[in-house]
Structure 1
Amino acid sequence: MRKINMISVIMKKTVTASFVLFTSNLFAQTTPSIELTEQVFSQCVSNIKQKAETAGIDSNVIGHALDNVKLIEKVLEYDRNQPEFVQTFPAYLNKRVTQWRIDKGREMLQKHKALLNELTDKYGVPAHYLVSFWGLETNFGSYKGKMPIIDSLATLACDQRRSKFFTEELLTALKLMQRENLNKEKMLGSWAGAMGHTQFMPSAYINYAVDGDDDGLIDLWDSEPDALSSAANFLNKLGWKKGFIWGREVTLPENFDYSYAGKDSSKSLTTWSEFGVLKVNDAQIPKSDIDASLILPTGAKGPAFLVYDNFDVIMRWNNSESYALAVGYLADRIIGKPEWHKALPDLPNYPISDMVDLQNGLNELGFDVGKADGIMGPATRKGIRQFQLSKNLLADGYPDESVFTNVKEAVIDTQK
């Protein structure tokens, strides 16, 4: 369970528009919230204690966890934070797939070779992917977060905006304390409740974490074997397909029909080959009934990727194409694969308000993209692609300057 999904990356009106990055629907605004005062918080905690008792959690655990629980204003600030400008995909990737992480990943691959080989045999997930997740989540355990998990979850549970979800996570955290004999003071992590080397939410911890060092406990903070074993089990349960990669960079032919791009347009490798899609060394894609989708993280001007079922599994860990690409790319680089063949373009940031305007315009023109929330998800990409096709524009589903201009002009025309 993770924090973040696709967030739009929008740029100033006079420059070329960028692509979306990540944020999670989990953290998107859902309902307006009232002010969370100390009095409201105190009453809410009392209600949660009652729910914990009903759930059969030991009274000593409830008291240890909640008797002195604190409202953390900073958590609410993080939760409310909606940046005006968001990173482009190239900026996101370059900060995460660094030479340091590649080198450290190779070091960790050797350090835990025996364990990782066992995990690959047992769960089917190759070692370099496990190390890649570990590196992206916590820099291989060097930064696991410093926020008090119980206080953070209680704060979010008592805030109206996503009370139901975080109340369940808090109750699950209490069950974990009871099951694993965890001390509240040890339970530090992200402001939203993610914990340990692999940044598991309590629900992921209790359902998927396993005892990798056979000491009778599951400790995702101090036991690297527990953390890596848990990651392998999690990915296995999410549906990882043994023997398959996440995807590959490809080369597209001239005059390629970009309306075929997008995660919602899966086709067999045989079909992609017939469309003229090649490997980056210009070799033929093997003809097969294996399905793949074509994604363009920076539009037609950037690299293109055919992604397979395991890419979707990575997105079930963190529902973001950008994150999934980073995991796959870092994993590849750790085992010595080269940099991507086509360079990522240098894209400026732009304000989220522009994407909201674009979404409103598309909806008004009959290209249904859902709620205008500034998040560049699959529905928005599909709507952009349909609009581009209607205007004989290059239909890559990417919001460049021509899309913003043409949508604005089309809306004005409908109002005349």
Structure 2
Amino acid sequence: MRMDRRIFGLGLLSVGLSGCSNGLARGVSARGPSDLPADLRPVPNPAYDQWVLAFQNRAASQGISQDTLRAAFRGAGYLPGVVTRDRNQTEFKRSLEDYLSIATSDERVQKGRAAFARHNGTLRALEEQYGVDARIITAIWGLESFYGERRGQVPVISATSTLAFDGRRGQFFEKQLIAALRILQNGDTTPARMTGSWAGAMGHTQFIPTSYLQFAVDYTGDGRRDIWSDDPSDALASAAAYLKRKGWTRGVPWGGEVGSIAASGSVIQPQAGGPRFVTTGNFRVIKSYNNSDAYAIGVGHLADRIGGGGPLRASFPPDANGLTKDDRIALQQRLTARGFDTGGADGVIGANTEAAIRAYEARRGLPVTGTPSQALLQSLR
């Protein structure tokens, strides 16, 4: 798993891809820390308190001032939910079809086009300055935080200190904690405003603290690299600066579906029987943001859709249960119509749909499996 910018292998646990209708892990999109779930609020933990005391000595030896430490840890504490989420990250990978159903949903495309139009001046200026396609910048913003709507509200000092104390990846998260303290000491933000995902990814473009120190940009010229502001300018510029530093080539597309683009490059087929894609060096640059073919295709295809492009032309094969995406959508629609709410009909089978299937099966006196099937679909006709 790539650890240089973020810890999310497929982006499916990120803030921006959260909140779909079928129970992918959800980022926190509450209005403020007081609205967080109980397990993401500090609880007493004497061992954590002792660890913090020892850590503060280490931080001071690395140039973190006592004033910064006092301000940062005032109100901070151990978050049990952060440890639970870290230990429960699944190795299960959704199919590319499911990933793209979420990453390039109609809602995400429509909001992306609106965001692109609303911030066109800034995005075009960034494209000119950094050479990165403005649509790609917008698509990263869309996948990382749903265009700023889901930036995360977990206090970063509490999250990173909890994970550093927990020890499973203690060295990595202590490095993130030190970096977060440097951000505070530099005056870019305050402890109260420094919020993000449960793992410390921050702002519109979900930078971890070490990447923030390396790549964040004060585009507005106010003396602060404010990726948390409602104004996304600094965050969008930071993403563009990141991609440029990673080797983005001006004027070169990311790639595209085979047959839809004339660019030369490597051909990949991430899902057997599904669409094939031509990929360029810029595709690999996107992967430096999140080291996943699915993520990079999601960014590229979302960027194309934001720019007016259409859906993929090639189809995906039926899933392991023999259902096509249209079948799965029909299943969700029919369950909901019968009073078994699936939370939406996007063709992605998740916790909500599985619960609806179990409820339907129980009501009908069928074996309770929670598994979609052609027989189940037929029974709902």
- Asked if 1 retains the 8 angstrom alpha-carbon contact of 2:189 and 2:224, the reply is no
Equivalent residue number for residue 257 of structure 2: 249
Q: How far off its partner does 1:245 sit? A: 0.7
Query: Cα deviations across residues 69-121 of structure 1 (Å, max 9, x unaligned)?
Result: 31111000000114485532211210121112112111111211111111111
| Letter of the structure 2 residue corresponding to residue 240 of structure 1 | W
**Rounded Cα–Cα distance in structure 2 between residues aligned with 1:320 and 1:3:** 12
- Asked if 2 retains the 8 angstrom alpha-carbon contact of 1:88 and 1:348, the reply is no
> Could you list the runs of 5+ residues in structure 1 that have no partner in the other structure?
9-36, 251-278, 350-416
Relative to structure 1, the CA distance from residue 229 to residue 84 in structure 2 (aligned partners, 3 Å threshold; closer, same or farther) is: closer
**Rounded Cα–Cα distance in structure 1 between residues aligned with 2:177 and 2:307:** 39
Relative to structure 1, the CA distance from residue 328 to residue 80 in structure 2 (aligned partners, 3 Å threshold; closer, same or farther) is: same
**Rounded Cα–Cα distance in structure 1 between residues aligned with 2:11 and 2:146:** 23
The question of 1:95 aligning with 2:67 is answered: no
Relative to structure 1, the CA distance from residue 62 to residue 347 in structure 2 (aligned partners, 3 Å threshold; closer, same or farther) is: same
* Larger Rg, first or second structure (1 or 2): 1
**Rounded Cα–Cα distance in structure 2 between residues aligned with 1:82 and 1:216:** 37
Relative to structure 1, the CA distance from residue 126 to residue 6 in structure 2 (aligned partners, 3 Å threshold; closer, same or farther) is: closer
| Letter of the structure 2 residue corresponding to residue 337 of structure 1 | G
The equivalent position to 1:326 in structure 2, one of 294, 298, 303, is: 298
Equivalent residue number for residue 8 of structure 2: 4
**Rounded Cα–Cα distance in structure 1 between residues aligned with 2:75 and 2:226:** 24
Greater strand proportion: 1
The question of 1:231 aligning with 2:204 is answered: no
Relative to structure 1, the CA distance from residue 7 to residue 182 in structure 2 (aligned partners, 3 Å threshold; closer, same or farther) is: closer
**Rounded Cα–Cα distance in structure 1 between residues aligned with 2:92 and 2:141:** 28
**Rounded Cα–Cα distance in structure 1 between residues aligned with 2:11 and 2:310:** 28
Relative to structure 1, the CA distance from residue 321 to residue 73 in structure 2 (aligned partners, 3 Å threshold; closer, same or farther) is: same
| Letter of the structure 2 residue corresponding to residue 93 of structure 1 | L
Equivalent residue number for residue 111 of structure 2: 104
- Asked if 1 retains the 8 angstrom alpha-carbon contact of 2:188 and 2:225, the reply is no
The question of 1:41 aligning with 2:48 is answered: yes
Equivalent residue number for residue 28 of structure 1: none
Secondary structure of the residue aligned to 1:306 is strand
Relative to structure 1, the CA distance from residue 62 to residue 7 in structure 2 (aligned partners, 3 Å threshold; closer, same or farther) is: closer
- Asked if 1 retains the 8 angstrom alpha-carbon contact of 2:267 and 2:277, the reply is yes
The equivalent position to 2:177 in structure 1, one of 167, 170, 192, is: 170
The question of 1:307 aligning with 2:279 is answered: yes
Relative to structure 1, the CA distance from residue 68 to residue 328 in structure 2 (aligned partners, 3 Å threshold; closer, same or farther) is: same
Residue identity over aligned pairs, in percent, reads 38
Higher relative contact order (CA 8 A, sep 6+): 1
- Asked if 1 retains the 8 angstrom alpha-carbon contact of 2:267 and 2:279, the reply is yes
Q: How far off its partner does 1:337 sit? A: 1.6
Query: Cα deviations across residues 150-171 of structure 1 (Å, max 9, x unaligned)?
Result: 1000000111210101001000
Mean Cα deviation higher: 44-53 or 186-195: 44-53
Equivalent residue number for residue 218 of structure 2: 211
**Rounded Cα–Cα distance in structure 2 between residues aligned with 1:6 and 1:67:** 34
- Pairwise CA RMSD: 2.4
Secondary structure of the residue aligned to 2:84 is helix
Secondary structure of the residue aligned to 2:285 is helix
- Asked if 1 retains the 8 angstrom alpha-carbon contact of 2:219 and 2:225, the reply is yes
The question of 1:192 aligning with 2:164 is answered: no
Q: Provide runs of 4+ in structure 1 moved above 3 Å.
A: 82-86
| Letter of the structure 1 residue corresponding to residue 235 of structure 2 | A
Equivalent residue number for residue 140 of structure 1: 147
> Could you list the runs of 5+ residues in structure 2 that have no partner in the other structure?
13-43, 322-381
Mean Cα deviation higher: 322-331 or 204-213: 204-213
**Rounded Cα–Cα distance in structure 2 between residues aligned with 1:63 and 1:134:** 33
Query: Cα deviations across residues 367-394 of structure 1 (Å, max 9, x unaligned)?
Result: xxxxxxxxxxxxxxxxxxxxxxxxxxxx
Mean Cα deviation higher: 338-347 or 173-182: 338-347
**After superposition, where does 1:12-27 map in structure 2 within 5 Å?**
none
Relative to structure 1, the CA distance from residue 105 to residue 167 in structure 2 (aligned partners, 3 Å threshold; closer, same or farther) is: same
Q: How far off its partner does 1:39 sit? A: 3.3
The equivalent position to 2:288 in structure 1, one of 304, 316, 332, is: 316
**Rounded Cα–Cα distance in structure 2 between residues aligned with 1:181 and 1:117:** 25
**Rounded Cα–Cα distance in structure 2 between residues aligned with 1:248 and 1:295:** 10
Query: Cα deviations across residues 213-261 of structure 1 (Å, max 9, x unaligned)?
Result: 11111111113111111111111111111111111211xxxxxxxxxxx
Q: How far off its partner does 1:340 sit? A: 1.2
Q: How far off its partner does 1:204 sit? A: 1.2
